[in-house]
Structure 1
Amino acid sequence: MGPMGILYEDVARYLESLTPDRLDVLLEQEDVARERRIPIVGPIVGRWLHQLARMIGARRIFEMGSAIGYSTIWLALAVPEDGIVYYTDSDPTNAREALGYFRRAGVADRIRILVGDALKLLDQVEGEFDLIFNDVDKHQYPDVFRKAVPRLRRGGLLVADNVLWGGRVARGETDRETVAIREFNRLLF
């Protein structure tokens, strides 16, 4: 298995070889995440998020669960200069660290940092979104679906990390997180 949990190593290497060169700040964040065991989406998913945002012409993005802002940078690079990506994390230390990365990536002016519970913060930001990226605690996934979908513009995207949960959703596991992700997937389909 590879870095994405259920992806074969050779397939992961192939996909990463297709990913264009990354900003130095993204490479640094990858190293920091590895060293400190901070979960980030990684370069394959980061590029995929970037591509999705570009394909739909996203101008307003709400990211639910942002940690050190790795995926936030990928998304901010995809929106136009007057676009907005909302970063959310419950840890103010993560938010401060992320701001430094945003400045170094040259995208700080496109990002609004919100600290607190992402579900509550979504209620506090007005308007529709072109894309909502869900990467909160897994037990919250069904609630995210119910709150996020009505906030998307027509043709907008709800993208979620970990929907296969390392294969656990297919194996009938009954822990709280797996049950919640399975419910989220059922709501999607």
Structure 2
Amino acid sequence: MSVVILAAGKGTRMYSDLPKVLHTLAGKAMVQHVIDAANELGAAHVHLVYGHGGDLLKQALKDDNLNWVLQAEQLGTGHAMQQAAPFFADDEDILMLYGDVPLISVETLQRLRDAKPQGGIGLLTVKLDDPTGYGRITRENGKVTGIVEHKDATDEQRQIQEIGPGDQHRHSDCQRRRYETLAGEADQQ
């Protein structure tokens, strides 16, 4: 199993020159908490997709299990996964995590890993009393049909309390098929 950690964003809303994922929580950089969880989960490979502040990230994160993947232009999640895809084995599970979600537990990641999506995607979701600002999970007959970003959601969709924080489980074949065809799609990816 490989883990891809997305850490290329600038974090402009933090108003800091320090990359968002390097801000500390409980004495460690946010992204270090995610890396530690991936290692504890037993990931064979941890691919860190970086962009903004790459030199600072490399100085701060000393982990021999990290494969550094440059995303020179930050063109969204799909593009970030395209950059990492060449490093995936032909037959392996892929967990996609965000470097700015330091409180993800190993137990939650184990459940996501064990979900074993068959030819599709395992998606971590949560229901919030106030989901303002988060992408909403849309369903039809109980099956997930999409994620609609808050800014793009209709008034009806904004009533949905189930959100997708983004963590995903895919098989490498599904990963390649999905992102080989991706060409500058909207932020909905």
TM-score exceeds 0.5: no
Structure having the larger proportion of residues in helix = 1
| Structure with greater contact order relative to length (CA < 8 Å, sep ≥ 6) | 2
For normalisation by structure 2, the TM-score amounts to 0.37
For normalisation by structure 1, the TM-score amounts to 0.37
Structure having the larger proportion of residues in strand = 2
